[in-house]
Chains A and B, each alone.
Chain A
Amino acid sequence: MKRVFINPEFCIGCRLCELACLTEHSQSKDLILAYRDEVASGLLPRNRVEEKGYITASLTCRHCEDPYCVRACISGALQKDPETGRVTYDEDQCVGCWSCLMACPFGSIKRHPIKEKIVKCDLCPDRSVPACVSSCPNQALTFEEK
């Protein structure tokens, strides 16, 4: 399956990937509306740009072959789709126990700021290339099979 890969050597820490993720997962699909209005009601990017001095990296769910989050999920909200390979998330099933957040060694699960729910990368099911990758100005993010 294709996954999102990051090379910190090329990441310039611009955070366009975070904004692209935010917009893609917004109701309005508009950056300004998403940032100005929807963030206040709990919208947040699924990815996160990490910084260590001048080195930066945009990190998100790796859609692991054997996902730690799926093992830990007590409600069946997180599952590994055997056909697409994606780690899928069903918000209605989630009870906010934070077991996945504890189990994921890649820190790829966030808490929803308001609801007792988690938030994670869905690899943009409506797009051929995830929004974060499309927005990256320096090809630090790539979407490929490795």
Chain B
Amino acid sequence: MKYVIIGNGVSSIGAIEGIRKIDKQSEILVISEEGFLTYGRPLISYFLAGKVGDERLALRSSDFYSKNNVQTMLGSKVIEILPEEKKIVVKDKQEVSYDKLLIATGGTPFCPPIKGLEGDGIYFFTTLNHAKQLDAVCPKLKKVVVIGGGLIGLKAAESLFDRGVKVSIVELAPRVLSSAFDEVAGKIVANRLTSVGLSIFCGTTVKEIQRDDAGKVKGVFLENGTYLEVDAVIVAIGVVPNIELAQKAGLEINRGILVDKFLTTSKDDIFAAGDVAEAWDKLINDNRVIPIWPNAYAQGYAAGQNMAGAKREYEGGLPMNSIGFYGLPTISIGLVNPPEGKGFQIEMMVDEEREVYRKLVFKGDYLVGCVLVGDIDMAGRYAGYIRFQIPVKDLNLKNNLKQNKATYLDWPEEVFQQFWNKDARIR
């Protein structure tokens, strides 16, 4: 048996750990376009801010690969998958055969067409190379614009600001963090950022990048007429699944590579996981691409076990994000912006002075989402109610949840027994 994994992000680590849980022997080969062993990708903002150095970036210790008997081909681009021959072609025309293949190629930064984009002074923020480029040029930058007020954009903005750069954030939506968080949380975060000294422009976008005769970035024109003088533009809107290889190989694709509950694609012996995959989502009961870290690991882990012959169903994705800005922790789990008129019930608690905010989203007897700002210590409890769909029928229990006082003794006895101790009695 020979396992080949394309990509070396967290899905790849999940897959290696998943395969090795079942199969301790067979050959595993990881082929990655990036020249680094797996690093904590979200750490790139800590790296750029100078909080984490090169030595702390690795996600696993340096002997992880040798211990797990994994070969790596770093800095190698796969150009084609030949499913009929069970082979892949690497850039220098080298062919590699596989018995089971995992596509974990992640996403590529999305970049809208903007006049003046061609040329120097344009940066992205999804890989360590991107962060290193910005790190190198940072001392020379005075003012930048970050396009994108989502998680990546705000983290890039914060890191650059910490390095002494004047930062403006431009977001097309009416508010920052519009997909992962709700309006109130977005507002609290925006206030925190502006009070520190960052500028935020919402409901508009960069129309044109202005350059001088030498081609150097001078500034940007926004749709709303504002002109911002800047030395560089950071495009941090988000990522789109890296599907070219899969497309060429004839795999079924929607937004991402379509996979079933066992992470198998439409072709035999080919699996997909992580930001490139369109996998089962627990909350919406359908497939979708949710490019978040824990899902990527979990998909890789389940895929790895299935590649090794286990019949292990992926438990389904659950969107969740934890992000902090200048000491203000912010967490969202599950469905946080429910559509109106579909029977969702929302409970909110805001304490603007203490910058504490809590929102719970219920559907019938179940908690389906929450947003926590400031006071986040009980986040995992809410995650439990959402993930395990523990019924919240009792009014006292609902009140406890609202007041951030839920205990595990509120779980029905049979659920407590299932997860904590089969012999437990709650009495």
Contact = CB atoms under 8 A, between A and B. Distances in A.
Interface stretch (A5-13, A28-36, A121-129): A5-13
Nearest to A110: B377
Interface residues of B, number: 52
A141 to B, nearest CB: 10
A101 B383 CA distance: 10
Contacts of A5: 420-421, 423-424
A101 B426 contact: no
A8 B427 CA distance: 7
Contacts of B20: 82
A108 interface: yes
Contacts of B421: 5-7, 146
B380 A103 contact: yes
Contacts of B17: 80, 82
Contacts, number: 138
B426 A8 contact: yes
B249 interface: no
A8 B425 contact: yes
A82 B419 CA distance: 21
B301 A95 contact: no
A5 B421 CA distance: 6
A50 to B, nearest CB: 4
A98 B409 CA distance: 24
Interface of A: 5-9, 50-52, 55-57, 59, 62, 66, 68, 70-72, 74-76, 79-80, 82, 92-93, 95-99, 101-111, 146
Given A8-B425, A76-B61, A104-B383, 6 more contacts: A5-B423, A52-B407, A75-B40, A75-B43, A76-B60, A110-B377
16 contacts: A8-B424, A9-B424, A51-B409, A59-B408, A62-B419, A71-B301, A72-B322, A76-B60, A93-B56, A95-B51, A95-B52, A98-B329, A103-B294, A103-B383, A104-B380, A107-B384
